[in-house]
Amino acid sequence: MNVPHQIRASRWFLSRAPALTACALPLFLLAGCEAEDPDSFAPVCAPVGILAEAADYSDYGGGGPVTPDLSRLVSHGSITAVSGHCSNAQQKTVLHTEVQLQLAVTRGPVAQGSAISVPYFIAVTRDGAVISKQSLQAVAQFPDNGDKVLVKTDPVSLDIPVTRTKPGTSYRIEVGFQLTPQQLDYNRAHLPR
């Protein structure tokens, strides 16, 4: 087969040319190629954890020391799941994160009404220090014939500032029940860590 000399020469050049990245080509070949953004990265979500000492909530009424007497139980709650997602925002300098909790809530014998509010929190920490914290309420609505329900909280939005040197993994999202000092002392003394 007769191949013109110019085409053979082009094939030889392309087959022996070193591998080039798109932005390494001469400007006259790729006029639209921009320099790589030093803060550019694929989004990595911040790790999420349930704070062990705040994973359970027991309300026995009153405000004093917690006495685990089932005849005085108003409500009990446990965090059963945490879900969410994250994405880049504001030119990749903010990690937009949404977090949602699932709670198992039990109504005790002295509970009043069919709805019980349970306090919880979502906190963002970095190097062990709390950067931000939101205290929220979940409402458990009980049917007439039931004392246990699963509650999904409303999604909570968090905007976490990030850079290449301070990615999402340098933060941690902690969730738990918002406890009184007496409830926290009880959990620390009685719950497995």
The model's pTM: 0.74
- Report the domain count for the chain: 1
Task: Decide if pLDDT at 47 tops 80.
Answer: yes
Give the pLDDT confidence score for residue 126 in this predicted structure.
Answer: 95
112: in domain: yes
Cα dihedral 104/78/131/163 (nearest 10): -60
Beta pairing, strands 172-177 & 115-126: antiparallel
Chain position carrying tokens 């290449």: 164
CATH number for position 123? 2.60.40
Beta strands 172-177 and 48-50, pairing class: parallel
Print the domain residue range for 73: 48-190
| Pair 73, 60: CB distance under 8 Å | yes
Q: How confident is the model at residue 37 (pLDDT cuts 50, 70, 90)?
A: low
| pLDDT tens digit sequence for 87-121 | 887 777 899 999 999 999 999 999 999 999 999 99
Q: Is residue 2 part of a domain?
A: no
Beta-bridged to residue 110, according to DSSP, are: none
Distance CA 84, CA 102 (A): 11
- Report whether 72 contacts 33 (CB < 8 A): no
Higher pLDDT, 154 or 63: 154
Q: Return d(Cα 65, Cα 182) in angstroms, integer.
A: 5
Q: Report the amino acid identity of residue 193.
A: R
Q: What is the pLDDT of residues 52-85, one digit of tens each?
A: 999 999 998 876 667 778 888 999 999 999 999 9
Q: What are residue 97's phi and psi, to 5 degrees?
A: -125, 140
157 bridge partner residues: 98
* Residue 116 located in a structural domain: yes
Q: Which two tokens stand for residue 123?
A: 């906190």
Domain-located, residue 182: yes
